[in-house]
Structure 1
Amino acid sequence: MARYTRSEPFFPIMTLVVVGFIIVGFGSAIAARGDGYVPPPALLLHGGVTLAWFALTLVQALLIRRANFGLHRQFGWASLGLAGMIVVLGYNTTAVAMGNPEWSIAGFDPVGSAIFPFFDIVTFAIVYTLGIARRKDREAHKRLMVLAGVMMMDPAVARTAIVLLGAPPLALLLEFAILLAFPIYDWRTRGRPHWASVFGIVLFAVFFALRMALGGTEAWAGFAGAVF
């Protein structure tokens, strides 16, 4: 079995990068609404739980760097609970947003727009579940846990691109840049990409294509009407 090392700051740093986008993206979007705006309680709860999961993911990465495996395993149960809450609260937030006639992502109507957060939830669940399943594979587990967070950073990156950069298409470039950091790190440290890094990029690309292809279709509208 490969030994754990303390010389791998990449994964804590990438977690901090994602958290930074979340804080900047949603913070700037709230600020743009003007003084006195307070997000609804359900949205605040969703944001708080999501940030708590990211904070715990960062703590978990730091615990591994310090070889504190026992506490890392104990905190894993809290991570599972927070991940489950993210899925439930994400579903609820999407269902509420669909009722807003002014809600639009990428030019879609509210029903079409729902495909974006819905697939964020799906890809997060896929990568996180795979990470838990491969928890005994150190190299795969640590990549998949951070990549799970990357999968649900799309709303934050989009808000950053819109509010601060004024160019929504840049959101896609920013997300791919973050994803490409993983195989670049792999090449520098192990001479070849790790399958988990490649899996994250492929999954993101496939689901992004599906969003754009299906968001405005009757098939998606029927599915969304049944699910939400």
Structure 2
Amino acid sequence: MTTLIDRNSTRAIASSRARYFYFYMALSCMAVAFLGFAPTYWLPLATGSFPSMPVIHFHGMLFFVWTIYFAFQTWLAASGQVARHRTIGMIGVSLATAMTIFGFFAAVDAMKRSAALGLTDAGIAFAVVPLTGILFFAVVVALAIANIRRPETHKRLMLLAAIAILDAAVARWFLTFLAPPGPPGPPPVPVTIAPALVACLLLVAAIIFDWRTRGRPHPAYIYGGAALVAVKLLNWPISVTPAWHSFAGGILALAQ
């Protein structure tokens, strides 16, 4: 009898950990986003030393609110409040839509600022990073919504979307602690690859958790993770192609 109780207790603890795993992962994403931008955005903003266009501030606030919303949604699901989780799901749809729109505006604003510095080509090349990033986020969130009745797929796609937009926060760590102060203007596209791969370590943790709890990684992680890494790696060769410069340059010309 004691052995049976012990086994049931162990299973209950394991089940609880599994249910709250996505909540803990969401908290990790929120911590990475906040700490990553703390030295270059939050602290300067608090001291009034971060002048910028309103679109940049709104873009930043939307993306950080997303991390809070994602953490709250995963907590609702883990605590069994599935009906409430679904009820406020439309907020997430609206928020992700606004993030996509203002992510695009922020990328265009960055190109305009680069052009004002006489670095038009560098700004156009770098624009591939935020534009493909927000496109990947939007596509994965759309797929998650399409799979809302398949919770195992839905929650993994939502986690993948959250991880996909963390490379900018991680890049701030690199700039603050590893990179010496450089000239104004966008960084070279190749330097964005390392922060993106560091952010993907959260995805590796999720894959390991899947392996331990279900014996194999979920297809959403396999195909979605492969697509995410491919996007981050391909940004570099794409950024130097005439086709990209024609496309992004056309967007810049329309915005000026």
Structure 1: 5+ residue runs without aligned partners?
A: none
Out of 151, 170, 178, the residue aligned to residue 138 of structure 1 is 151
Is it true that 1:190 corresponds to 2:203 in the alignment? no
Query: Structure 1 stretch 216-225 or stretch 187-196: which is displaced more?
Result: 216-225
Q: Quick check: 151-160 or 34-43, which moved more?
A: 34-43
d(CA) in 2 for partners of 1:123, 1:72: 24
> Which structure would you say has the larger Rg?
2
**How many residues of Structure 1 are paired with residues of Structure 2 in the alignment?**
221
What is the CA distance between 1:200 and its match in structure 2? 2.6
Which shows bigger deviation, 83-92 or 17-26? 17-26
**Superposition RMSD on alpha carbons, in Å?**
2.4
Counterpart secondary structure, 1:131: helix
Q: C-alpha distance in 2, partners of 1:174/1:6?
A: 28
The residue number in structure 1 matching 2:8 is none
Contact 1:179 1:200 in 2 (8 A): no
When normalised by structure 1's length, the TM-score is 0.88
> Per-residue deviation at 1:172?
3.7
Per the alignment, in what secondary structure is the counterpart of residue 99 of structure 1?
Answer: helix
User: What amino acid maps onto 1:23 in structure 2?
Assistant: F
Task: Tell me how far 1:170 sits from its aligned partner.
Answer: 4.4
Tell me, yes or no, if structure 1 residue 24 matches structure 2 residue 31: no
Distance 1:136 1:25, change over 3 A: same
TM-score, normalization: structure 2?
Answer: 0.79
- CA drift of 1:142 comes to 0.7
Structure 2: segments with no counterpart, 5+ residues: 1-14, 181-190
* Stretch deviating more after TM superposition (168-177 or 120-129): 168-177
Match of 2:198 among 171, 174, 177: 174
How far 1:209 sits from its partner (Å)?
2.3
The answer to whether the 8 Å contact 2:114/2:123 transfers is yes
Match of 1:49 among 56, 62, 82: 62
Counterpart pick for 1:199 among 219, 223, 231? 223
| C-alpha contact (below 8 Å) 2:168/2:195 kept by paired residues | no
Deviation at 1:123, TM superposition (A): 0.7
Overall identity of the aligned pairs, in %: 30
Describe the SS at the equivalent of 1:67.
Answer: coil
The structure with more helix, counted as a fraction of residues: 2
2:21 corresponds to? 10
